[in-house]
Chains A and B, each alone.
Chain A
Amino acid sequence: DAGVTQSPTHLIKTRGQQVTLRCSPKSGHDTVSWYQQALGQGPQFIFQYYEEEERQRGNFPDRFSGHQFPNYSSELNVNALWLGDSALYLCASSLAGQGEEKLFFGSGTQLSVL
């Protein structure tokens, strides 16, 4: 049973570029959440997708957008990258109605913006 998988594992971009990160949820899960984790900090909630729609959003600008596909996988897109967007981006999956304790995290994508 595969857990949450994210790709790529590492990525280097330059300021102003756009990036797409991908996530496949744990088998049987239908909800995907994205978090940003800056170095030395706890993860910060970006948004959550369920039934292919953004259900909740944290305090992130519109440059951050996402998508969920019919197979429950998800993408995180960031436009006009800033140096401050450098972070570990974590995807977490869960099954709707199962509670927050059932979040399973992937290993993340390490994004470096130069």
Chain B
Amino acid sequence: GENVGLHLPTLSVQEGDNSIINCAYSNSASDYFIWYKQESGKGPQFIIDIRSNMDKRQGQRVTVLLNKTVKHLSLQIAATQPGDSAVYFCAEPSGNTGKLIFGQGTTLQVKP
């Protein structure tokens, strides 16, 4: 079955540095992934997504990389800011069911 997981529960970075959050998945047939950001007291918020026909996708200060060979994806945040402090989840749809499978999340702490 599907399974997505994150490598580190907590990541601490200095303000202004780049952050890299990792996620591994088990189903080689997975073809679509989404990154969500969850701030304290709020629900998850869509950041960026990527389909398996791409290796890289860029947004505003964020980049997602997909390595299908090792079934790994990463979220890179450039010039990390205090407002980036949150829990980050990778997620993938379960077939065409409308159900999302979430990883356990990585807490990003930004030090001033």
Which A residues lie at the B interface, using CB under 8 A? 4, 31, 33, 40-45, 48, 55-56, 58, 90, 92, 94, 100-108
Q: Give the shortest distance, in Å, between B69 (CB) and chain A (any CB).
A: 24
Q: Name the one of A4, A42, A104 contacting B89, with C-beta atoms under 8 angstroms.
A: A42
Known: A48-B98, A55-B98, A100-B98. A42 touches B105 (CB 8 A): yes
Q: Are A43 and B32 in contact (CB under 8 A)?
A: no
Nearest B residue to A90, CB-CB = B43
Tally of chain B residues near chain A (CB < 8 A): 23
Known: A56-B98, A100-B98. A43 touches B44 (CB 8 A): yes
Q: Is B104 an interface residue (CB 8 A)?
A: yes
Q: Are B99 and A92 in contact (CB under 8 A)?
A: no
Residues of A within 8 A of B102 (CB): 42-44
Q: Name the one of A41, A56, A92, A101 contacting B43, with C-beta atoms under 8 angstroms.
A: A92
CA A108 to CA B41, docked complex, whole Å: 8
CA A5 to CA B15, docked complex, whole Å: 33
Known: A31-B98, A100-B32. A4 touches B43 (CB 8 A): yes
Q: Are B98 and A108 in contact (CB under 8 A)?
A: no
CA A92 to CA B44, docked complex, whole Å: 9
CA A42 to CA B36, docked complex, whole Å: 10
Q: Is B18 an interface residue (CB 8 A)?
A: no
Q: Name the one of A4, A42, A94 contacting B103, with C-beta atoms under 8 angstroms.
A: A42
CA A44 to CA B44, docked complex, whole Å: 12
Q: Are A90 and B98 in contact (CB under 8 A)?
A: no
- Most chain B CB within 10 A, of A42, A56, A106, is at A42
6 contacts between A and B (CB under 8 A): A40-B9, A42-B89, A43-B102, A45-B100, A56-B97, A103-B100
What 1/0 flags go to B62-97 for Cβ under 8 Å of A? 000000000000000000000000000101011001
CA A103 to CA B47, docked complex, whole Å: 11
Q: Name the one of B9, B89, B99 contacting A45, with C-beta atoms under 8 angstroms.
A: B99
